[in-house]
């Protein structure tokens, strides 16, 4: 699905706004898992504004595509893109993670419109996305299941159990994204529990691994086109990303896995995002 120049520009506009909304919501919440939400911005906008078959006016439409955010701590990113897509008003995010708000730090699918699965306990999202994809196949439905994984999450054994099952049953209507920003809560993934050679591991488990720049919309779209064309195996798109992408003082800094800031620091963050898109939009 090659993107036209116009489509790329529109998606970049959405990514810019998403990053700004993530910053705003983090301020309103008093803190959030901002680094990993910023790193997956392009993945989210490509899925929600170009790829997935969805209808915000019919969030329970049975023929819709499903997304499971397995790295559920990135809920501030998912909540922001759902608001931007029209599932609910952005104004509701002013109460994100406040007492009695439907928006917890990890989004609850029973409370937040548009959320297909409640996640937060790492390692559970891929098994759920697999079950959804198999359910579609058994019902003769054409919709697809997507899953966004964190790289540190791949330390969880349940991820690899699901990976084996997906390959064994040839669940080709399942596509996973791995947000490969190389930083987990406590530091560099390769120092805490080495993942490389990551593509080889997924290939050995029977998946089709595709490695791309996770901030390059055209590259992500091309990988998705290949994933959709695959009919005999699940596909994982290993998206090389930058934690905190777009905010210069956050990029590649593990302390921004979770963080908060005052109005002055938020102003700096917003200015950095605007600078990222200078000459592009």
Mean pLDDT value across residues 254-271: 95
Residue 82, pLDDT score: 98
Mean pLDDT value across residues 164-186: 97
Residue 109, pLDDT score: 97
In the chain, what are the domain boundaries? 5-276
Residue 214, pLDDT score: 98
At 37, phi and psi to the nearest 5?
Answer: -80, -40
What is the CATH number assigned to the segment(s) 5-276? 3.40.50.970
Mean pLDDT computed over every residue of the chain: 97
Mean pLDDT value across residues 32-54: 98
Closest by CA to 189, choosing from 121, 122, 105, 119, is: 122
The DSSP secondary structure of 178-204, one letter per residue, reads: EEE-SEETTEEHHHHS---SHHHHHHH
Banded pLDDT at 127 (limits 50, 70, 90): very high
Q: Is the pLDDT of residue 190 over 90?
A: yes
Banded pLDDT at 280 (limits 50, 70, 90): confident
Structure confidence by residue, pLDDT tens digits, 57-86: 999 999 999 999 999 999 999 999 999 999
Q: Is the pLDDT of residue 279 over 90?
A: no
């Amino acid at each position: 699905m090659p993107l036209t120049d116009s489509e790329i520009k529109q998606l970049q506009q959405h990514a810019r706004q998403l990053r700004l909304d993530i910053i705003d919501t983090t301020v309103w919440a008093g803190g959030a898992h901002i680094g990993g939400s910023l790193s997956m911005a392009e993945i989210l906008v490509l899925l929600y504004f170009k790829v997935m078959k969805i209808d915000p006016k019919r969030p329970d439409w049975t023929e819709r595509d499903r997304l499971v955010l397995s790295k559920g701590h990135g809920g501030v990113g998912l909540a922001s893109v759902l608001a931007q897509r029209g599932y609910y008003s952005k104004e509701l995010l002013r109460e994100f993670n406040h007492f009695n708000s439907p928006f917890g730090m990890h989004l609850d699918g029973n409370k937040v419109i548009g959320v297909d699965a409640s996640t937060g306990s790492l390692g559970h999202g891929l098994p759920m996305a697999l079950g959804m994809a198999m359910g579609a196949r058994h019902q003769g439905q054409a919709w697809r299941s997507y899953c966004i994984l964190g790289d540190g999450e791949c330390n969880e054994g349940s991820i690899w159990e699901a990976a084996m099952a997906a390959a064994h049953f040839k669940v080709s209507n399942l596509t996973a994204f791995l947000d490969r920003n190389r930083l987990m809560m406590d530091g560099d993934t390769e120092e805490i529990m080495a993942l490389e050679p990551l593509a080889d591991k997924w290939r050995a488990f029977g998946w089709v691994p595709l490695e791309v720049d996770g901030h390059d919309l055209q590259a992500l779209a091309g990988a998705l086109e290949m994933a959709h064309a695959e009919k005999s195996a699940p596909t994982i798109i290993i998206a090389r990303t930058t934690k905190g992408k777009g905010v210069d003082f956050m990029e590649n800094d593990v302390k921004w896995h979770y963080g908060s800031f005052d109005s002055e620091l938020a102003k700096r963050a917003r200015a950095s995002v605007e600078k990222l898109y200078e000459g592009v939009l």
